[in-house]
Amino acid sequence: MGRAPCCAKVGLHKGPWTTKEDALLTKYVQAHGEGQWKSLPKKAGLLRCGKSCRLRWMNYLRPDIKRGNITQEEDDLIIRLHSLLGNKWSLIAGRLPGRTDNEIKNYWNTHLLKKLQRNEQTSEHDNEDQQRKTKKNNNVGGNKKKKNNNNKQKKNDKKKGKSKINDDEEEDKIQVYLPKAIRIKALTLPRTDSGSFTFESNSSSESQQKQGNEQVTNNNVVCEVGEIGENDRFGFCSDDHDLVNDIECESFFDTGNNRGTLERLYDEYFQLLNVDGICNFEFDSFAESIFN
């Protein structure tokens, strides 16, 4: 496959955008619309590659971008959608109006992952206690989730135990149990609005095993006891709650009377991802709901 020449090869600007560049790009897109990114820089008088222009517009300049902190509701939805979709940032962002995939990705990596790691430690510790109460040789080493090897994870690990007060407070409020984000292996979507797309559920043995350990009832995920600490769930719990030994995830998928829009959106995804025995199918309405 061909590759567009990178910025360096053609002597184009890189790095942070100036206000002048922003203005030029904004002006051009407002006049001519999005698209044609390859030829846009030249037409707009920018010394940037099309890729860079597209990214700048999509992630920063677009008028419908929502600025400011992620709300608690958004935070919750991100966690839920990630549990279903994995690192499908664009899909997740598509359900959060005004938020970009880049923003969601950054938020996940900087905020939510920290919670996850913190909870993993708690979960592992409590799991060990649980195991002691049960059979000695019940489990083998596979219980412990592998540590993420990337540098930022290591940095974050170092900071554990002395994190910001705000983070601690936030974590105290959140109790989340997540399946590992591996449910989807391949998701093929057209890049045009052709109206339909195929969806492939994860058919790997790993996934099947995982799904075998979950029961889906009324949109609640119920994790079986034996799976505690086995990558299928992690709670964001305060230390003074004995939630690690809880089995059901109902607090997370609570279906109260006043369910908000985001709750319903989540349910849509959840139901679609749990259609019995369907590996390839079309659901145009779902596509429309996402992309329109």
Partner DNA sequence: AAAATGCTCAACCGCTAACCA
Partner DNA sequence: CTGGTTAGCGGTTGAGCATTT
Q: Which positions touch DNA (CB under 7 A)?
A: 1-4, 6-8, 13-17, 34-39, 50-52, 54-56, 59-60, 87-91, 101-103, 105-107, 109-111, 114, 150-152, 155-156, 158-159, 162-164, 188-192, 194, 197
User: In this complex, which beta carbon is closest to DNA, that of residue 98 or of residue 245?
Assistant: 98
> Which C-beta is closer to DNA: that of 13 or that of 145?
13
The answer to whether the beta carbons of residues 117 and 153 sit under 8 Å apart is yes
Q: How far is the CB of 5 from DNA (least distance, A)?
A: 9
8-state DSSP, 218: T
Smallest separation, CB 26 to DNA (Å)? 13
Nearer to DNA, 43 or 259 (CB): 43
- Please list the residues that pair with 201 across neighbouring strands: 184
Rounded least distance, CB 46 to DNA, Å: 11
What minimum distance in Å lies between the beta carbon of 227 and DNA? Answer: 23
Is residue 109 exposed (0-12), middle (13-18) or buried (19+ Cβ within 10 Å)?
Answer: middle
Contacts of 57 (CB under 8 A, 6+ apart): 25, 26, 29, 34
Task: Write the CB contacts of 44 (distance below 8 Å, at least 6 apart in sequence).
Answer: 24, 25, 27, 28, 53
Q: Where are the beta strands (DSSP E) in 59-207?
A: 184-188, 198-201
For DNA, give the closer residue by CB, 18 or 138. Answer: 18
Residue 180 or 247: the one with the smaller Cβ distance to DNA is 180
Cα separation, 24 vs 30, in Å, equals 10
Nearest-approach distance from CB 166 to DNA, in angstroms: 9
